[in-house]
Amino acid sequence: MHDEHPGREDGTAGRPRILRRYDEAVNDLATGESPVGLTVKTTRIDDITPLLTLVDPRQPLAFVRRNDGIAGVGTALRLEFRGETRMSDAARAWREIAAAAQVDDEVTVAGSGLVAFGSFAFAAESQEASVLIVPRLVLGHRDGVHWITRIGTVDDVAAESVDPVLLGAEYHVPMAPGAFGPAEYAAAVAGAVEAIERGEVSKVVLARTLEGTLPLGADVRVLAADLASGYPDTYTFAVEGLIGSSPETLIRSEKGELTARVLAGSKARGTDALSDSAAAAELATSPKDLDEHAFALQSLLQTFARHATHVVTAETPFTLKLPNVWHLATDVRGRLADGASSLDLIDTLHPTAAVAGTPTTEALAAIARLEPFDRGRYAGPVGWVGADGDGEWAIALRCAQVSYPEGGGPATVTAFAGAGIVRESVPEAEVAETTMKFRPIVDALGRGIPDEPGRPLPSRPAWASPAG
């Protein structure tokens, strides 16, 4: 889908070859010709140039929240995975790569040392590859600590440097429904409700898309910067053209502690303080939304318990306030019991009922029947993994895929939004919910959804602002 990956098999002497498939990595390791014996050096620095001035304007690589996070530059190693075992293959490959690496990390915080950014396809049948990308440089900031990590061969680590590039001009991209528009989506919702009434599923999550075209030469970092500014409490991510701001933590693993956040059940924010408070109260007492949330929470707890002990969660969800929407939310915590890596954990947890439905197998079959498009990596895990297996993974929501045509020309952008369908769902209401969930992307692109006003572009956060 993408026409370039920085550093791909460019013939440069001494640089690690970019792996395209897991079986190549295994073969190289087995024959003793491994290209994955990486040298990694992390150094603490006093301050850091704003992250987005350093990443690729066409293919930015970042995972940030509340100004903390990491950004990547270049490619030391890239692996692709496909099919039913894409995440377990990635977990196995990453253990091999981490074991072969020489790591010198003077910072030792989450995200320092050897890391790979990752993004995985929602469905096993997807035509979109799942990827792990190890950058040549990683810039990080967490809890007031700044660092830089250089990854490659010994010579690369000593010589690698990067210059900041100011963010490009803002742009306005009209977004419009494709063939699967609001009317078609409403019909699919009605079909899902009929399947629920027949007892085939209890809940199914259906998505739809909006499409647009970026101006030729558009700086994609602008989209990520505006999302991070408008939604600072979410995970803003950019991995191989998938860019978004997700409010949902699939799993965070750090030193044996596991955390997750379940979101299911939504309502638009009010237009003033009184209506906003009423919207939150209505959501908190809505039988339809509480049922939807319960399905999602039970789905996560059942799989979470396979790897964790001392699991703690609240008896009732809380209302989470985002700039455009209220969500029902529940946090889950536990203690890792079996040494699983964060890649092993996402393999167990995905797909949750919050993005697929329940029962899982039947819900996935309904999605395949009712959604006439490939979700790609929308609603799949996106985040990063460290050498010790710890990592931070969100569910790729409130996002868009930026794709460059092979023959050159302007990039296309496809935005995704979905809603959980239960017995009480009304097609028109679910169309309205997806419209609300498109808001972060269409606002960041500078236009409202057709026939609806958009808000002005937000100012950029400090970590994304041009130097000076």
Q: Please identify every residue annotated as catalytic.
A: 203, 248
10 Å Cβ neighbour count for 271?
Answer: 9
Tokens of 108: 């030792």
Whether the upstream peptide bond of residue 351 has omega within 30° of 0, thus cis, is yes
Q: How far apart are CA 155 and CA 151, in angstroms?
A: 10
3-state SS of the chain is CCCCCCCCCCCCCCCCCCCCCHHHHHHHHHCCCCCCCCEEEEEEECCCCCHHHCCCCCCCEEEEECCEEEEEECCCEEEEECCCCHHHHHHHHHHHHHHHCEEEECCCCCCCCCEEEEECCCCCCCCCCEEEEECCEEEEEECCEEEEEEEECHHHHHHCCCCCCCCCCCCCCCCEECCCCHHHHHHHHHHHHHHHHCCCCCEEEEEEEEEEECCCCCCCHHHHHHHHHHCCCCEEEEECCEEEEECCEEEEEECCEEEEEEEEEEEECCCCHHHHHHHHHHHHCCHHHHHHHHHHHHHHHHHHCCCEEEEEECCCCEEEECCCEEEEEEEEEEEECCCCCHHHHHHHHCCCCCCCEECHHHHHHHHHHHCCCCCCCCCCEEEEEECCCCEEEEECCCEEEEECCCCCCCCEEEEEEEEEECCCCCHHHHHHHHHHHHHHHHHHCCCCCCCCCCCCCCCCCHHHCCCC
Cβ-Cβ contacts under 8 Å for 42 (sequence gap 6 or more):
103, 104, 105, 106, 107, 112, 113, 138, 147, 148, 149
Q: How far apart are CA 121 and CA 202, in angstroms?
A: 24
